[in-house]
Amino acid sequence: MAEESACVLVVDDDPAVGMVLLAQLGQAGIGGQHVLDARGALEFLRERPVDVVVTDLRMPGTSGVELLEDIVERWPEIPVILLTAHGTVAAAVEAMKKGAADFLLKPFDREEILFTVRKQIAAARHGLGPPRAEVGGDVLAGPTSSSAMREARDLIRRAAASQINVLIRGENGTGKDLTARAIHKEGPRRDAPFVRVQCGALPDTLIESELFGYEKGAFTGAASRKPGRVELAEGGTLFLDEIGDITLVVQSKLLRLLQEREFERLGGTQTLKTTARFVAATHQPLEEMVRKGTFREDLFYRLNVLPIWIPPLRARAADIDALAAQFGREAGEMNGRGHVELTKQALAILKRQPWPGNVRQLQNFVERLVVLSDGNRLTAADVERELGRPLQIGGLWEPAPPRPLERAEGRADRVDKLEHFAAGTLEANRKEVEREAIIAALARSANNRSVAARLLGIGRRTLYHKLAEHGLL
């Protein structure tokens, strides 16, 4: 997603502020729209894809924090930046706990607002935007037949009662984020901040500014002093998600933070202390990375004081019944379907699937199953129908490709023509199947484009482009 195609929604009851912000974004090649209140923002979000929301904290009627909570609930993938003239670390912590991606102090500087917005656009481009709803509910709740999961739960409870560093390991979709939150909520720091840092494929300077904050003038766009995530987590838990993705440069600075519990803001000379508790998570093979020299051995041992391995779903297949039933109930309530249950035969089929995406994949499948099925009792036929759908490419259903044409000697020209014809037919079929899939998803979701996009496995912006492409707007 290029910045030129991005859309920033500005929410402020002062028309002058909206006009200035849109002008500044427009000069930088970033598109935007201004609305005067939360009601207008929600109406716009229902109709159009938005990449970033910038909202004033204090507005008549619904406040910026209340709007934030609404967006987090309905569109958790959209980052929200709060504007406030009353910016304190305490207010920032409260906003971060409620799901804000960032905050800015009024009066804001042009370079600062552009820096902050671009950072969120870059995060979304690398898949590092706000996470979707939690998978698996409470990781400590419910029965389990897996000895590996029982062991993990025991370690989580023990870790929560301690103050040592924890490294959560496991495949994507197993619930590492939930595990970190459980460690925080079950321990003595439960009433203090839980601050998550997504350590992904962003430039070192962005990661550093996120972690350590910056002083006024530290770089272009730093118009005022800004606390980083380490400061915001003071007294609470700092969760370093996907720690295996950070570069060696950032690793060295993290090592000092963990060893000495001190750091400096970017551009600053004052050494600050922290009492935050450190929890990290990764799906990367850190031991192998240490051998290859791409991950510092000393940092690995600092993080790996108490390792917790979350087993993949294939290793706890007996738990699929309870998880699928839970996801069915939640999806039924979320989509106004009331109580939804799966038959024993339906659950038996689910237990035989490999689920390489683990708990997250199972949750997505059950949600789609609920929305695309009739009635509140989901049968084996419903499950088989959804499992039997054509393969998905880019989130949209596509027909299987035709068999490859064998090139016979002396008939090359004819075969070339046949291949060209087959490619054209495949493209036409793809568009038709794609259009039908979109229409079906919109019908099942009562024309709710956010829900339709989730059913199709694509983002709202991609869905909007597809609607335009197929003449469905």
HEC readout, 126-145 = CCCCCCCCCCCCCCCCCCCC
Check whether residue 289 and residue 156 sit in a common domain: yes
Same domain for 158 and 297, yes or no, is yes
* 349 and 288 within one domain: no
Q: Of the candidates 388, 410, 427, which is a domain's last residue?
A: 388
- Do 13 and 114 belong to one domain? yes
Alpha-carbon distance 298 to 316, whole Å? 33
Tell whether 130 is covered by a domain: no
Residues 319 and 305 in one domain: no
Same-domain pairing of 445 and 409: yes
Cα angle for residues 209, 251, 213 (degrees, 5° grid): 15
Judgement on whether residues 319 and 307 belong to the same structural domain of the protein: no
CATH number for the domain harbouring residue 283: 3.40.50.300
**Residues facing residue 377 across a β-bridge:** 341
135 within some domain: no
Decide if 140 is inside a domain. no
CATH of the domain at 360: 1.10.8.60
> Could you tell me if residue 131 is inside a domain?
no
What is the residue range of 434's domain? 395-473
How many Å apart are CA 111 and CA 223, to the nearest integer? 7
* Assigned domain for 321 exists: yes
Does 292 lie in the same domain as 202? yes
How far, CA to CA in Å, does 118 sit from each of 24, 157, 252?
13, 39, 26
Distance of CA 243 to the CA centre of its chain: 16
pLDDT tens sequence for the chain (473 residues) = 445 567 899 999 999 989 999 999 999 889 999 999 999 999 999 888 888 999 998 888 898 889 999 998 888 878 999 887 765 566 766 777 788 888 887 777 788 888 888 888 877 655 555 554 444 556 877 778 888 899 999 999 999 999 999 999 999 889 899 899 999 999 999 988 898 888 875 667 678 888 998 888 888 777 778 888 899 899 999 999 999 999 999 999 999 999 999 999 989 999 999 999 999 999 999 999 999 999 999 999 999 999 999 999 999 988 999 899 888 888 888 777 788 899 999 999 999 998 888 988 898 889 888 888 888 899 999 999 888 765 443 444 444 333 343 333 444 454 455 445 444 554 556 677 777 778 877 777 767 777 777 677 676 767 777 887 888 86
For the chain, what is the domain count? 4
Cis peptide before 107 (omega within 30 of 0): yes
Q: Give the end of a domain, one of 338, 362, 388.
A: 388
Q: Is the pTM of this model over 0.75?
A: no
Residues 403 and 447 in one domain: yes
Q: Which residue type does 268 have?
A: G
Question: 413 and 334, same structural domain?
Answer: no
Same domain, 302 and 195: yes
Same domain as 300, residue 445: no
Indicate whether 141 belongs to any domain: no
- Per the domain annotation, does 79 fall within a domain? yes
Burial of 147 (0-12, 13-18, 19+ CB in 10 A): exposed
**Could you tell me if 236 and 194 are in contact, meaning their C-beta atoms sit under 8 angstroms apart?**
yes
Q: Which residues touch 190 (CB under 8 Å, ≥6 apart)?
A: 184
**CA dihedral in degrees (379, 381, 385, 388; nearest 10)?**
120
